[in-house]
Amino acid sequence: MLYIVLVLVLAALGLLVTALITANSLWAYVSIGLSVLAGLILFADWLRRKSRKPADPAEPVEAPEEAPAEDAAEESEDAEQTALLPATGELDGAVAADAADETVVVPVVEAEDEPEPAAVPVRAKDEGDPGEEPTDAADLLIVSELDVEVVVVDEYPRYHLRACTWLADRDLIPIGVSEARELGFTPCVRCGPDAHLATAHRTKKKSKADS
């Protein structure tokens, strides 16, 4: 619509210029007519636009109220259902009674025979170095000349008989008793190697003398 009005206005201006150049009043009248026509078109467009404007917002429509009869019916149904249900205490009592009447049988599952654990060698409790055997002077003289084998443990100062309970599963180093004495080892109080070896030596010497 505005495009048509623009064309009419341009045409009216062109005719007006033509009328001024040619001094012909006819072109002037035609130019005026085109201008009036453009104005009418603009007025008609204005009316059309005004009619298309949205109407005033209508008043908010209130939601229809629910019928009181329906509310009353729902309340009566809820009341009937509540009346049919027993009180909480009665319900708990009934459940407890039912639970008491029923005897719960718990199946006894026999444990499968588990294999006995393999025997683990028990290591003697390591209480540090065992004490030193108090050796008699006569026994010490005999032991110092013997070449009987005893055992020692690395980083421990005692020498032992192989049957000593303190040794347990320790790594043993065999050595002659006289050599052990020379190296600074001392006899163990548990197995008493000096007394044992001295007694064995005396018994052996006596048996040879008797024979």
Q: Which residue, 156, 184, 145, 205, is CA-closest to 164?
A: 156
CA atoms within 13 A on the CB side of 78: 6
Is pTM beyond 0.75? Reply is no
**DSSP bridge partners of 150:** 175
Task: Tell me which amino acid residue 32 is.
Answer: I
List the beta strands (DSSP E) in 56-187: 149-152, 158-160, 173-176, 186-187
List the beta strands (DSSP E) in the chain: 149-152, 158-160, 173-176, 186-187
Residue boundaries of the structural domains of the chain: 2-50, 137-210
What is the residue-level pLDDT of the chain in tens, covering all 211 positions?
677 877 777 887 887 788 788 877 887 888 888 888 878 888 888 888 888 765 554 555 555 555 555 555 566 666 566 555 555 445 455 544 454 455 555 555 554 555 554 443 344 445 578 899 999 899 999 998 888 999 999 989 999 999 999 998 899 999 999 999 999 999 999 999 999 999 999 999 888 888 7
